[in-house]
Amino acid sequence: MQWKTIAAVAIAGAIGTCVRYLLQLTIQTDHWLNVTLIVNLSGSLLLGILSGWLYIQSQKEWIRIGLGVGFCGGFTTMSTFAAESIQFFNKGSEMIPYVAVSMFAGVAACGCGIWIGTYLSERRKTRI
């Protein structure tokens, strides 16, 4: 067990969680286009970018895991997504677009992020 990696996950996770909470205080809506959707999609994009960039750049494992598992894991939220899905289901018709957009756009955002991160990393390598 590497304590540096555990510390990186803990610190970055706390920061990611605080950033998400601040966004939730700033953006409040009962509509399915809400802060959880924004956070989860932007977190998926960011995780993709970090994955594409850091794997090619061969950064230290504790940095990669700290940013990916820690920050992105703390920033995004599956449990809130699940709870809001049930709340929207109980309201009526908003659950289907919320779940569909969250799932498909999240995967697409991560894929785009991996492409962006890989592209930027490869471009940086050719300049060095």
Among residues 22, 37, 32, which one has the least CA distance to residue 87?
32
User: Rounded distance, CA 86 to CA 88, Å?
Assistant: 5
Q: Is 92 annotated as a binding residue?
A: no
The contacts of residue 76 (CB under 8 Å, 6+ apart) are: 16, 20, 39, 40, 43, 44, 47
Is 76 one of the annotated binding-site residues?
Answer: yes
Tell me, what DSSP letter sits at residue 58?
Answer: T
Nearest-angstrom CA–CA distance, 8 and 57: 19
Determine the length of the chain.
128
Going by the annotation, the residues of the binding site are: 73, 76
| Annotated binding-site residue numbers for Na(+) | 73, 76
